[in-house]
Structure 1
Amino acid sequence: MKHGICNLSIVPLRAEASDRSEMVSQLLYGETFKILDHRKKWSRVKLHLDKYEGWIDNKQFTAISKEDFNKLNDLPKQLLADLVNFLTNEREELNLITIGSNVAATKYLGHTFEGNRVESPLPKSAIVETALLFLNTPYLWGGKSPFGIDCSGFTQLVYKLCGYSLLRDASDQASQGEALSFIEESEPGDLVFFDNTDGDIIHVGIIMADHHIIHAHGKVRIDRLDHTGIFNREQRTHTHKLRVIKRIV
């Protein structure tokens, strides 16, 4: 068994082979991966989407052949466009899935899907519109769904829904795209990154019009953006220090 696919709605990806281990990311329905190390209860996997690695429970995925793995990843993406929807299996049981799930995988997993899907890249103008779907989603370290999401999971999922690829962590996303010198050069949909006192990039958000930013901090929220960083009007203080602005699209 060397390849697998997520056959459930949301599956935790953990740092170590234990239910008590830190959740570093999540797999959504239809995401595929290579199996690097298969043990009795856990497998270490490398996701096809962003090459992220971690451990998943063997009861929470389905093994597939290398041939099906390649076929699936060569297919045009068909992503769930609704925040939540349902699949049905051969017993007419409902399986909940969340936005960004790859519904092209249904034929390989014996499911039927009749909902809305995104099938082609969207214009850059759709990035902010898509991001607003997640407004008030609670922050969850490692999360990638409308039930809980972290800052880089948020930007990755929004870009994925619009047809663009981002790496998983904020520090890795900061290596992509073209750096801009000033906020005034930015456009809605560009990414903006923030660092800590050690200079490490620890946060990312999506630029909106009129010097605003949408980002996951406690929840997905909209704040002001200036040359210092993010200004939270509720706290009346800057919460994040600006490092760099990147244009990906």
Structure 2
Amino acid sequence: MENFDLDYALKQFPDVLKAVPMTLLVATVSLLLGFVFGLLISLCRTYKVPVLSQLGALYVSFIRGTPMLVQIYVIFFGTPMLIDYLNKQFGWGLNPYGISPLVYALLAFTVNTSAYQSETIRSALQSTEAGQMEAALSIGMTVRQALFRIIAPQAFLIALPVYGNLFIGLIKGTSLAFAVKVIEIMATTRIIAGGDYRFLEMYIDAAIVYWVLCFLVERLFVLLEKRFSRHEKVMP
């Protein structure tokens, strides 16, 4: 520990904090977009939509069975090739090489989290009482009305703790965005450490920042869970 420079770590800490907005941007936007696609996949699988249900199951299996870093590289190198192919097929004039690294990162993390969110949503929907949908239909509600007025609020409360874990996982997972040149917390840490070869100091800075962020997110979801569960009756 004689070579550990605490003053250096403290001095560089503000520079690491400057990367927090980018980390939160990637994690938050990916979570929201992933929710949209995850919801669609989960509904198709829950209500056994022909073809789409099988495709959704295959998609979830593939994403959950491959490393996140591999998915990032596939999207990073595969997207320009796909755009080139579409340009040739349809006569488009899209520039496949002018895409921002942030777009690749958001796309990769959205693809990844949508698979996990679909399973979370599907489990939450299946955990609600099955007879509630039949009861709602019997009083004249449509499937859509019953889903959003009765089933969804209950499923939301069930899924909320899991979403806290998903968001924390996304925050930590953004450290892989450096692979596509997105300058987030881990990228900033490596860049600074590479200049002075003070890797331990910078990694400790990064660890502290990630820990604080995840702790705050954890507390936020605990508060949300308490707020939305106030209506539930406390069992004696």
Instruction: Using structure 2 for the length normalisation, give the TM-score.
Output: 0.22
Give 1 or 2: higher helix fraction: 2
Give 1 or 2: higher strand fraction: 1
Higher RCO, Cα 8 Å, sep 6+: 2
